[in-house]
C-alpha cells in the first residue's frame, strides 16, 4: 500500500515580514509618524486587520516591540504607526529614514468590535498617544460614514505642540458629519483657538447623547481613564459599551510567553481592547 507523505508546513508566527518605510515625519518632539509598506506587494495588499489591533515591529540588532496600527483597513496597502521615543527599540526606530527596512509581524490582538458598533453613535475620547489606536477607528468610521450614527471626537493634549495629528484633526473639524472637539491643558503659544482645559472639560459642550445608542472608545494616559469614565457613566452609557484600549508589557504578541498575562487572560490575545465591564471585574487591567 502506498503511504501518502504528509508535510505540515505552518508559518513560523515569529517570522517578521520585511517592510519599507515610505514616509516618516515628526508629530511632536518625541513622537514620529511612520508609513510603511510590506516589501512583498501581495502580502501588503492581503494584510487585513481591525482598527485597534497592533503589530510587532522589529529592528535588526535592536529588538522588537508592539505598536498600535494607526492607519485604517479601509485604505489597504500601507500601514501607519505613531511611535514615541522611550528607550532602546523606539530610539532605534526613531533613527530610521525613508526607504529603510523594518520587520513587521501581525496583526495581533482583538481590535474594536466593529460589527457591534454598526449603526451606533461613536464617541471617541483620546488623550496624548491614545490617538495612535483611535485614529484607526476614527478614519474607519469616516470612510464608512453611512454605517454609523453620530461620530464624535474629543481629543486632548498637554499643549498645542504635544497634540498628535493636530493639523489632521483641525482639518477634520471642517467636516459636517463629525463633531470634533480639541483641547489643550495649557496654551503656551497664545494662538490656540480651541478649548483650554483637560479633556473632561469638553463633555459639557456635547449635544445631548442617547446613552443606549452610544459606544464610547477611550485611550490615553492612565490618569485620564478614571475621570473620563466618570463622565461617560454620568451620561449613562452602559459599561459594556465603554471600550478601552490598554497597554501591557508584551514580548511575543501571540499568547506564548506569558509576559502580558493577568490572572487567566493574555492581553495580547484577549486585548488590548476591553470593555469597562471587563476592567471593573479585573482591576489590574489599568
Stretch that binds ligand FAD, among 9-17, 44-52, 79-87, 199-207 (CB under 6 A): 79-87
Output the smallest distance, CB 27 to ligand FAD, in A.
10
Beta-carbon contacts of 106 under 8 Å, excluding residues fewer than 6 positions away, are: 49, 53, 54, 55, 56, 69, 253
Whole-angstrom Cα distance, residue 279 to residue 244? 9
The item of ligand FAD, ligand FES, none sharing an interface with residue 26, based on CB under 5 to 8 Å by kind, is none
Looking up cell 459636517 gives 176
What is the rounded CA–CA span in Å between residue 6 and residue 71? Answer: 40
Binding partner at 251 among ligand FAD, ligand FES, none, C-beta below 5 to 8 Å by kind: ligand FES
Query: Would you count residue 238 as binding ligand FES (CB under 6 A)?
Result: no
Distance CA 152, CA 150 (A): 6
What b/e sequence results for 220-240 when a residue is b if at least 16 CB atoms lie within 10 Å of its CB, and e otherwise? beeebbeebbebbeebebbee
CB of 206 to ligand FAD, least distance (A): 27
- Contacting ligand FAD within 19-78 (CB under 6 A): 54, 65-68
At its nearest, how many Å lie between ligand FAD and the CB of residue 66? 4
User: Do the beta carbons of residue 99 and residue 21 sit within 8 Å?
Assistant: yes
Omega before 277 within 30 of 0, i.e. cis: no
Asked if 35 contacts 23 with a C-beta cutoff of 8 angstroms, the reply is yes
Chosen residue from 39, 41, 118, 257 binding ligand FES by CB under 6 A: 257
C-beta closer to ligand FAD: residue 129 or 182: 129
* 129 makes contact with ligand FAD (CB under 6 A): yes
Report the greatest alpha carbon distance in the chain.
85
Instruction: Verify cis geometry, omega within 30 degrees of 0, for the bond prior to 82.
Output: no
Member of 58, 71, 90, 214 binding ligand FAD (CB under 6 A): 90
The residue range among 144-152, 155-163, 217-225, 244-252 that interacts with ligand FAD, by the rule CB under 6 A, is: 244-252
Nearer to ligand FES, 64 or 194 (CB): 64
Q: Which does 258 bind (CB under 5 to 8 A by kind): ligand FES, ligand FAD, none?
A: ligand FES
- The reply to whether 244 sits near ligand FAD by the rule CB under 6 A is no
Q: Which residues bind ligand FES (CB under 6 A)?
A: 250-253, 255-260, 266, 268
Amino acid at each position: 500500500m502506498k503511504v501518502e507523505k504528509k508535510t505540515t508546513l505552518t508559518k513560523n508566527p515569529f517570522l517578521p515580514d520585511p517592510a519599507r518605510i515610505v514616509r516618516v515625519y515628526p508629530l511632536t518632539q518625541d513622537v514620529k509618524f511612520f508609513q510603511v509598506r510590506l516589501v512583498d506587494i501581495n502580502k501588503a495588499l492581503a494584510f487585513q486587520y481591525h482598527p485597534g489591533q497592533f503589530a510587532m515591529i522589529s529592528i535588526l540588532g535592536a529588538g522588537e516591540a508592539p505598536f498600535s496600527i494607526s492607519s485604517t483597513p479601509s485604505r489597504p496597502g500601507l500601514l501607519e504607526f505613531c511611535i514615541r521615543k522611550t528607550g532602546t527599540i523606539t530610539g532605534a526606530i526613531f533613527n530610521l529614514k525613508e526607504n529603510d527596512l523594518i520587520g513587521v509581524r501581525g496583526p495581533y490582538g482583538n481590535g474594536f468590535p466593529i460589527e457591534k458598533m454598526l449603526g451606533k453613535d461613536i464617541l471617541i475620547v483620546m488623550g496624548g498617544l491614545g490617538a495612535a489606536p483611535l485614529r484607526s477607528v476614527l478614519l474607519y468610521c469616516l470612510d464608512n460614514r453611512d454605517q454609523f450614527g453620530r461620530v464624535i471626537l474629543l481629543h486632548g493634549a498637554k499643549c498645542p505642540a504635544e497634540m498628535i495629528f493636530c493639523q489632521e484633526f483641525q482639518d477634520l473639524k471642517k467636516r459636517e458629519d463629525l463633531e470634533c472637539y480639541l483641547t489643550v491643558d495649557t496654551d503656551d503659544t497664545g494662538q490656540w483657538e480651541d478649548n483650554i482645559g483637560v479633556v473632561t472639560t469638553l463633555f459639557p459642550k456635547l449635544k445631548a447623547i442617547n446613552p443606549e445608542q452610544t459606544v464610547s472608545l477611550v485611550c490615553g494616559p492612565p490618569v485620564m481613564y478614571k475621570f473620563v469614565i466618570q463622565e461617560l457613566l454620568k451620561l449613562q452609557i452602559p459599561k459594556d459599551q465603554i471600550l478601552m484600549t490598554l497597554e501591557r508589557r508584551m514580548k511575543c504578541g501571540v499568547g506564548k510567553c506569558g509576559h502580558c498575562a493577568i490572572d487567566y487572560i493574555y492581553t495580547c490575545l484577549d486585548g488590548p481592547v476591553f470593555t469597562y465591564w471587563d476592567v471593573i471585574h479585573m482591576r489590574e487591567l489599568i
